[in-house]
Structure 1
């Protein structure tokens, strides 16, 4: 690696010397970051877990053994020498050295292949996940040591991609068995008997044939689920992305670092650029499972920036550009192109603030149709695809639309003030969440990979499109942006960004449009669809500060299992019944893995809830609660390790459609309604936050809209040891749902479970009597 780095930095420094100017230095630095650095990283990643410098070590070792008149190649070097072209300029000794170098290179590649294969086999072992907490078997200890040996040192972001195992295809009989077990408690005896008959017929006939095709796909595809999941669940959806698919992320809950909108934009956008630079250079550490440091797939990170979703009449498509040096900015119905680089260098936060302020001070009005143009991205997909083809395929409209779609990301400068503030902080927090989720339905570009929203009072947030990646990827970016903004970049005493402004900066460019009346009518129709959807969303953000992970851990229960069972208890109290429950689990232990479903409503959790509500004793309820928690943990681990139910059945259904086969069993399973859809947003970079010295700088997490018209969406994030934030959504149009009431039910359920499972404090009087008895014995 040393020689490799020297070569690249030599080119880099020579270019700087030749340019002989600060602007030239920044220009070459930018070229290195965008063009040379990826090439270098591709080579380093391509030979991982070895390093480029190890090639030289192998060559020297082979030449050294040859010098001692031994042949480590067992005659292969001589064979290579025989096939080298004869040349008068090469002596016999030179031909021998060239043959040795060629053999060393082949040996080096063979060693890399062997190490990578061994690491892939090691990472295919998941027994460690099913062991009891705190009890590590000797097998797992040996396995962990072997993983460390074969993992190499200083991995880049994508170093493990070639060593990650492929997602296994479960056996049909196992998936059917697990499905029937999950469905039993939600069906009557007659319904269950009928579904069992359908399942057995499917398993014994069509299922085996579909499985054969699925295994055939798994042999050549990196992941047998992800491409179909992206296409059929996201890109082929014809309804609005807003509320139904896109999700949001919030700012700090209690703190707004500056009340100046342009200044907050300066630091936020600059922090986004810093993250993108680290991403391009692969300097971001690969995500890992805590404790044993098992690597997770990083494939979703590739499309964070410079990505957009293009509407189509039958299916949408995702387009990713290699790089983009600007962002598209929306303010008061106008669109601007804001360059984030000048003379080959990244703009400073103060310079970005200056440029944003220029946009805020621009008095020009929007042209007809421009103000609500983004409503096309908020409505149904087919009208947007038709309008794009008809009105935005040529001329000035195409150039302006290209500018938005090819931007690094989208920025919305909002005239509203949001956050947990004023005389109604709880209500304002709910309105803040709704604003991030859908805004005014025309002030977010919902097709972009993400939109950064900056409010008039300095609050910020984001809205993210879902098809290109899952929420933990965007959450990782946002954690970095928030903490870099406050703890590294900072602000002056007046609230402005730090630094100076170059006098030669060109102002932001106003995008121009020529939108005919017919297109304006299409925009209004899309806006009406989006506005109806947005108005129907009932949202509630509930920060719970009474307890958190610390109190739950004292009960010796998994925090996630604790919260999921609390959700079951709350839903039962809220609706008087149980329902099919979706909990998102990642499958990033495998290459290109995304998510799997954990069916959190189990027979064990229902038995516990009925016992608790039926007045059973504490001892009985505690035992049932632990049994339910253990079952939930087992299901979660099964989902993470490729043993889930729903993705397998989904892919079997897709195969049946390709073959033109009808399966009553698969059709009924895929049409089931998830009335309780839940997801945990993990806090991934805990080291960036300081909850002890800066407890007010608490992230609030994010949320999503309800999946079912008569159901709830619940997102939650566990903050430190003493806080849990919940984001609860439903629809006003359903009389049986109420986000605030359900929030109160969840909080009460959490408190009731904590009281049930907390270790009982000893009776002081009894403890004193025991102490006196022991003292008399000692005498």
Structure 2
């Protein structure tokens, strides 16, 4: 109750003598400082809005234009060609303004209009330059004249941009022609179908293209003219928010700590630095001080819209409704889910041993120091109080099926103390779990420990994460950390940028003292973290148990294998004059063919952030060229033939990736055409069959070194193992990989125990062998792998 008293700013009592008014000085001070902090943020947003609004010019350039116009007029020259005189004629007549003053006012107005016109022209020029993507398809040293002109993008890009400076200049994502998409689709399925199956699909595609396709395309083009991005809102709604299955394992993904280094073994200390680093990043994000992300090696900016909902965001299940025009799920009722974002939050929600706490991260309008956060978290760790009935496993509601969670939220958490506590979690900056387990690469079997680490981050105990939050930070007992992220609000590269910043800031900027504690002093007057209260009925506890049973069955079925490949890395692959990403994709397909004896529809995620509000596109990595290479290699063809086919497959993959990045992909266009067909109430056998095809191999590369806060060459031990996700298909694999520096690659492989045809360890062994075999094919003079690596591969196989 002490926290409740501190929250009251004033109390009054009516007595026979009058009203006895008691003011809380501390509470009023906190209210004042909170309001002051809020107004500071509003002013910063206003200032940044002005700077971003006039970009690529600057506000000070207005003064330069005004002075230039006035200077030319002083030289008795009229740069406006009579427009200043016209403006002067229409100025209101005023006795207080002389003729000279009226001329100056007219010149200032003309200068302002000229300034806005120049800004508009520069922005349009920049938008046109950013719409040109042919430079990606040209070989080095063979630049066309058009691309040489396009290089002027550097001139129009401006200087010192803020995070959102380019948003108004980014082009809209184009809608590909139906015939081009259908052609690319048929090409992608050719190696995966029999001649009869291909003829049937070709017939359906031709029928669709000549009839319904043009009608659906018209609506899609109309949307593209009106919306910022014709894909992203539908993608978020129908792929993420309207799903009914658990988001744990099926949607959320995770990120790991440093592989070889643990900066401190003290749990509260590691949490103190980590949480403070998150606050530092949020401060930079709110002030737009983060540099815009760019295509590596270029000045081409990437869309930053996904950053807006990084903090203070949660995914909330909604009430079912039977009235909805979209028939996406072909059901009588459709649940409405939303992603809710609040402008600010000065606290985080913390979970420890079945209890939930509210931890304020600011004191007197300043952020808590790492040492103060450590002290506050240690108070939570030392708190002996038991969880209230039903509280310990409450988070399982966010891990189970979505509809039961939506119903439980409405029935049991819409009023009273439960609503207040749930609001506290959902409005928190982010969620923190103080885990009692120890994780990381450790013990006598480091490989197995990494597998356990991955599973812990992906699902934990199924109730000790809040899977609806934009991200949950996990702090383990031995000082290791990790992150679990919800997928609907943003994709992995955005979260990876945040995670890299936090890891680097923790170790290289904040640091620890000799005892392993955070640096700094502690304000002894800080109020204790507030314990959240719950009143969970037996009926609600029964629903929690049911959700936990669903989630536990899903978690137990996940088969995970994480390993680092250190025989060689992208440095050696580049020496063989081949794309590292294409090399890995071909190795994954070769490994799958050896594992299953067949080819499969392969998904590789590609970004479309070259466009405004762009998210992802699918690269259909399994191509005619990749299958030809694998068949030749496995069929015992000559080295020269296999080498030539490998290079052709690599070039094809790069071409597919570039098409996906530049808006000429296949799957998002077909997806949107399908959504339009459902809104119109028409069926397309072609679209229905396309969207029902399973992705037996789902892959993604996690970008690294986006922040560049430290030199990985000089600090090779500070490498992260990256992150991963669960399997997409029940009988398939999910593979996430990171290319760390020049000599290391990390792989995260997931599948399901319930499928007898898949094994993450066996597939991992096939990947290792495929990587080595391909290098031996390209560079036969390379050294043999170490005995340890060979024995590990044989063990997995």
- TM > 0.5 between the two? yes
Corresponding residue of 2:161: 155
Corresponding residue of 2:94: 87
Corresponding residue of 2:294: 288
- When normalised by structure 1's length, the TM-score is 0.93
Alpha carbons 1:554, 1:758 under 8 Å: kept: no
Corresponding residue of 1:555: 576
Secondary structure of residue in 2 paired with 1:201 = helix
Secondary structure of residue in 1 paired with 2:192 = coil
Tell me how large the CA RMSD over aligned residues is.
Answer: 1.6
Is 1:749 matched with 2:770? yes
The alpha carbon displacement at 1:29 in A equals 8.7
Is 1:245 matched with 2:245? no
Corresponding residue of 1:175: 181
Corresponding residue of 1:45: 52
The alpha carbon displacement at 1:383 in A equals 0.5
- When normalised by structure 2's length, the TM-score is 0.91
Corresponding residue of 2:197: 191
Corresponding residue of 1:599: 620
Task: Tell me, in whole angstroms, the C-alpha distance in 2 between the residues paired with 1:48 and 1:686.
Answer: 23
Secondary structure of residue in 2 paired with 1:696 = coil
1:369-425: CA deviation from partner (whole Å, max 9, x where unpaired):
110101000011111011111111111111100000000000001000001001121
Alpha carbons 2:565, 2:746 under 8 Å: kept: yes
Equivalent residues in 2 for 1:182-261 (5 A)?
Answer: 182-261=188-267
Alpha carbons 1:27, 1:345 under 8 Å: kept: no
Task: Tell me, in whole angstroms, the C-alpha distance in 1 between the residues paired with 2:135 and 2:780.
Answer: 29
Is 1:97 matched with 2:104? yes
Task: Tell me, in whole angstroms, the C-alpha distance in 2 between the residues paired with 1:497 and 1:603.
Answer: 56
| Equivalent of 1:654 in 642, 657, 675 | 675
| Equivalent of 2:80 in 68, 73, 80 | 73
Corresponding residue of 2:172: 166
The alpha carbon displacement at 1:34 in A equals 2.2
Corresponding residue of 2:316: 310
Alpha carbons 2:270, 2:475 under 8 Å: kept: yes
| Equivalent of 1:298 in 301, 304, 309 | 304
Corresponding residue of 1:367: 388
Alpha carbons 1:223, 1:591 under 8 Å: kept: yes
| Equivalent of 1:439 in 452, 460, 465 | 460
What runs of 5+ residues in structure 1 fail to find an aligned partner? 1-21, 763-779
Corresponding residue of 2:352: 331
Which stretch shifts more, 369-378 or 63-72?
63-72
Task: Tell me, in whole angstroms, the C-alpha distance in 2 between the residues paired with 1:448 and 1:46.
Answer: 31
Alpha carbons 2:497, 2:707 under 8 Å: kept: no
The alpha carbon displacement at 1:684 in A equals 3.6
1:181-223: CA deviation from partner (whole Å, max 9, x where unpaired):
0011111111111111100000000000000010000001111
| Equivalent of 2:596 in 572, 575, 579 | 575
Task: Tell me, in whole angstroms, the C-alpha distance in 1 between the residues paired with 2:404 and 2:601.
Answer: 33
Is 1:501 matched with 2:507? no
Equivalent residues in 2 for 1:703-742 (5 A)?
Answer: 703-742=724-763
Seen in structure 2, the aligned counterparts of structure 1 residues 691 and 738 have a Cα distance that, compared at 3 Å, is same
Corresponding residue of 1:11: none
The alpha carbon displacement at 1:30 in A equals 4.4
Alpha carbons 2:508, 2:710 under 8 Å: kept: no
Task: Tell me, in whole angstroms, the C-alpha distance in 2 between the residues paired with 1:270 and 1:319.
Answer: 24
Corresponding residue of 1:618: 639
Alpha carbons 2:347, 2:360 under 8 Å: kept: yes
Alpha carbons 1:123, 1:164 under 8 Å: kept: yes
1:533-554: CA deviation from partner (whole Å, max 9, x where unpaired):
0000000101111111111111
Corresponding residue of 1:119: 126
Task: Tell me, in whole angstroms, the C-alpha distance in 2 between the residues paired with 1:139 and 1:214.
Answer: 30
1:707-731: CA deviation from partner (whole Å, max 9, x where unpaired):
0000000000000000000000000
The alpha carbon displacement at 1:26 in A equals 8.9
Corresponding residue of 2:272: 266
What runs of 5+ residues in structure 2 fail to find an aligned partner? 1-28, 321-334, 784-797
Corresponding residue of 2:556: 535
Task: Tell me, in whole angstroms, the C-alpha distance in 1 between the residues paired with 2:756 and 2:31.
Answer: 65
1:634-653: CA deviation from partner (whole Å, max 9, x where unpaired):
00000000110000000000
Q: How many residues align?
A: 740
Secondary structure of residue in 2 paired with 1:463 = strand
The alpha carbon displacement at 1:293 in A equals 1.9
Corresponding residue of 1:340: 361
Corresponding residue of 1:55: 62
Task: Tell me, in whole angstroms, the C-alpha distance in 2 between the residues paired with 1:287 and 1:575.
Answer: 39
Task: Tell me, in whole angstroms, the C-alpha distance in 2 between the residues paired with 1:330 and 1:28.
Answer: 28
1:472-507: CA deviation from partner (whole Å, max 9, x where unpaired):
000000000001000110001111000000122111
Task: Tell me, in whole angstroms, the C-alpha distance in 1 between the residues paired with 2:143 and 2:262.
Answer: 44
Is 1:35 matched with 2:42? yes
The alpha carbon displacement at 1:66 in A equals 1.7
Secondary structure of residue in 2 paired with 1:288 = coil
Equivalent residues in 2 for 1:404-553 (5 A)?
Answer: 404-553=425-574
Which stretch shifts more, 505-514 or 34-43?
34-43
Task: Tell me, in whole angstroms, the C-alpha distance in 1 between the residues paired with 2:623 and 2:189.
Answer: 9
